[in-house]
Amino acid sequence: MRRAGIAGLISGVLIVAGCSSPEKEEPPAPSPSFAPGSPGAGDPYFPTYGNGGYDVASYDLQVRYDPRTDRLDGTATITATATQDLSRFNLDLSKLTARDVTVDGRPATSAAQGTELVITPTAGIVNGRGFTVVIKYGGEPSQLANSALGDGGWLESGDSAVALGQPESASTWFPVNDHPSDKATFKLAMTVPEGVEAISNGVPGPSDTTDGWTTWVWSENSPMASYLSMVVIGQYRVTSTTHAGKPMVLAVPESFPANGPAERSLAKTGEITDFLATKFGPYPFAANGGVAVEDRRIGYALETQSRPVYGPGFFTAGPNESVVAHELAHQWFGDSVAIEKWQDIWLNEGFATYAEWLWSEKSGRGSVQQNFDRAYASYPWNQPVETGNPGAARIFGDAVYQRGAMTVYALRKTIGDAAFDQLLTRWTSEHRNGNANTDELIALAEQVSGKQLDDFFRSWLFTTGKPAKP
């Protein structure tokens, strides 16, 4: 409503000095053009991973698992927002069967197509609208073989199980958009037989035991890439304390010796975290900790968010602080700041390996320069693999880890310590809880240093030759 001025009122008579043109009407909004979301997130290395057409905000899982029968049953509540006009959409779900699906409380049609769960709501979902999917599902969860890294997915053994793996794993135990570009918060209520522990990501909630079953509750309220979710089920010695005002949960199998190499290594978690925070900025999550597992099929450690998991092989020769430093560094590089596509995995592994060198120097086991020199002397420079584009089969190779770490240190030497320190803290603060890529790191490095670094990054990331030492 437009208000008339007092000058237009004389002796109770409204004098119209002029007339205004009518308000221009907005054109009608175009009708939605509904189409299916893509069955992949568009990653060049793994085209079928993840899905398109929506962005997940949260996963809320209620899961019951019986190790005696290897039977898992769950209800997944997923909140998301459409990023296009959706006629239907996919979630990743490997071998488990969806029994009942609703979208915004209304029954939806679902169909399994390989490892894809195709969901068709009763009405299309308009671009930008939030929606909630509830899926009841179950079956025997599946294992994934990964020749580059080792077995992953859902690994069952006797009365224990571990859900773990990279670059995929989550789809083996809950419906998910299984690609790091779609981060979401995560809540798990895991019910297992009484006397069995169930350890997962984030802040622990109260556990409850009823009729011989115990429900363990965990909440990770910082957005998390799906492959960083985990659950470890079995007989564990669990130590729950606080560190820097945050819950610290450490666990080792009861079969491991008390105060043995694994336990002593994990006990360094708080100290190492505090040291890395002086380099990378404040620790980014509301909880911390670590879990050692005994299943020898897990020949790796993984930076599962807020609580890394360590395979048994890391502790056979004694305590191993180096691997703890590596996985804790990932809490900044890879977890809080996640990659957008798997080609950029050096941003995770290069910085985490460099963090091993930092801890080596801090603990008197060799300086960063000495570690760089050893890596430079022993690296197989004749291998035809680019650090910044290693190919899907080489994302866990030397070019990503060792040459990646050398790239980080060479950048430090090239731009100087002051600019490098600024780069680290700005990178982790400006991209906290998000995703980033190599081009953004290059741009920030040039900004903080005032140097043009095309030749540097080309020689270290995008050629296979041997760069000169900085």
Separation of alpha carbons 384 and 393, rounded Å: 13
Start-end ranges of CATH 2.60.40.1730 in the chain? 36-225
The DSSP result for 25-45, as a single string, is PPPPPPPP--BPPPSS---SS
The span from the CA of 207 to the CA of 188, in Å, is 12
In one letter, which amino acid is 78? Answer: I
Helix (H) or strand (E) holding 239: strand 236-243
Q: Is the dihedral of CA 122, 123, 126, 130 positive or negative?
A: negative
Taking CA 94 as the corner, what is the angle to CA 183 and CA 120, rounded to the nearest 5 degrees? 75
Task: Identify the helix (H) or strand (E) that includes residue 83.
Answer: none
Backbone angles phi, psi at 305, to 5 degrees: -60, 130
For residue 209 the two structure tokens come to 């035991």
Q: Which residues contact 1 (CB under 8 A, 6 or more apart)?
A: none
DSSP notation for 49-66: SS-SSEEEEEEEEEEEEE
Q: Which residues of the chain have pLDDT under 50?
A: 1-21, 147
pLDDT at 145: 72
Percentage of the chain modeled with pLDDT above 90? 90
Considering only CA atoms, give the Rg of the chain.
26
Regarding the domain delimited by 235-315, which CATH topology (the fold level of the hierarchy) does it fall under? Zincin-like (3.30.2010)
Residue type, 173: W
**CA-to-CA dists, residue 154 to 145, 302, 358, 368, 427, angstroms:** 11, 14, 34, 37, 34
Contact residues for 362 (Cβ-Cβ < 8 A; gap 6+): 275
User: Do 290 and 309 touch, CB atoms closer than 8 A?
Assistant: yes
CATH superfamily of 339-461: Neutral Protease Domain 2 (1.10.390.10)
pLDDT recorded at residue 12: 37
90 half-sphere exposure, CB direction, 13 A CA radius: 24
- Residue 119 has a CB neighbour count (10 Å cut-off) of 22
pLDDT digits (tens, 9 = 90+) for 456-469: 999 999 999 999 99
Contact assessment for residue 206 and residue 189, using Cβ atoms and an 8 Å cutoff: no
pLDDT of residue 8: 37
User: Tell me, which fold does domain 36-225 have in CATH?
Assistant: Immunoglobulin-like (2.60.40)
The H or E element that residue 255 is part of is none
CATH 3.30.2010.30 domain residues, the chain: 235-315
Cα-Cα-Cα-Cα dihedral sign, residues 121, 123, 129, 130? negative
CATH 1.10.390.10 in the chain, residue ranges: 339-461
- Structure tokens given for 266: 């994990």
What is the biggest distance separating any 2 CA atoms in the chain, rounded to whole angstroms? 101
Nearest-angstrom CA–CA distance, 215 and 38: 36
Q: According to the model, what pLDDT value does residue 20 have?
A: 45
What is the bridge-based pairing of β-strands 309-310 and 301-302?
antiparallel
User: What is the pairing mode between strands 116-120 and 130-139?
Assistant: unpaired
Instruction: Indicate the residue type of 19.
Output: C
User: Do 59 and 7 touch, CB atoms closer than 8 A?
Assistant: no
Taking the CA atoms of residue 395, residue 174, residue 283 and residue 367 in that order, the dihedral angle to the nearest 10 degrees is -30
Q: Provide the phi-psi class of 143: left if phi over 0, else alpha when psi is between -120 and 50, else beta.
A: beta
Two tokens at 389? 């584009």
Q: Would you say 170 and 225 are in contact if contact means Cβ atoms under 8 Å apart? A: no
Q: Which strand ranges, in their side-by-side order, compose the sheet holding 109-113?
A: 89-92, 116-120, 109-113
Q: How far is CA 50 from the centre of its chain?
A: 13
Q: Which long-range contacts (CB under 8 A, 24 or more apart) does 140-143 make?
A: 140/70, 140/71, 140/72, 140/95, 140/96, 141/70, 141/72, 141/95, 141/96, 141/172, 141/173, 142/94, 142/95, 142/96, 142/172, 143/172
Q: Label the pairing between strands 208-210 and 231-234.
A: unpaired
